[in-house]
Amino acid sequence: MELDIKVEGMMCGGCTSRVEAALKAMAGVRAVSVSLEAKLATVELAAPSLMDAVGQLPALVEAVKALGFEAEPDIPI
């Protein structure tokens, strides 16, 4: 499952590297891609269902916020 997180406040490659490392260190995360230009972190989770993946979103968002960035789920309506 892939989920996107909007990330505001990243200014350089160092910022994206910090976000990527923090998310990769979390349980259940298989891969992370962070785009400075798009202000987006795409997280691939080892979750059996979409509901399980969405249930992990609050922890992922909080991990990014703990680094000092603004973050919120990017869920299309």
| pLDDT score recorded for residue 50 | 86
Orientation of helix 13-24 relative to helix 50-65, angle to 10°:
130
Class of domain 2-73: alpha beta
Q: What is the pLDDT of residue 27?
A: 93
Q: Residue 47: which of 64, 28, 32, 33 has the closest Cα?
A: 28
- pTM reported for the whole predicted model: 0.91
What pLDDT does 38 receive? 97
* pLDDT per residue as tens digits for the range 5-39: 999 999 999 999 999 999 999 999 999 999 999 99
Show me where the domains of the chain are located.
2-73
Residue-wise pLDDT tens digits, 54-77: 899 999 999 999 999 999 999 876
Residue 53: which of 31, 75, 28, 23 has the closest Cα? 28
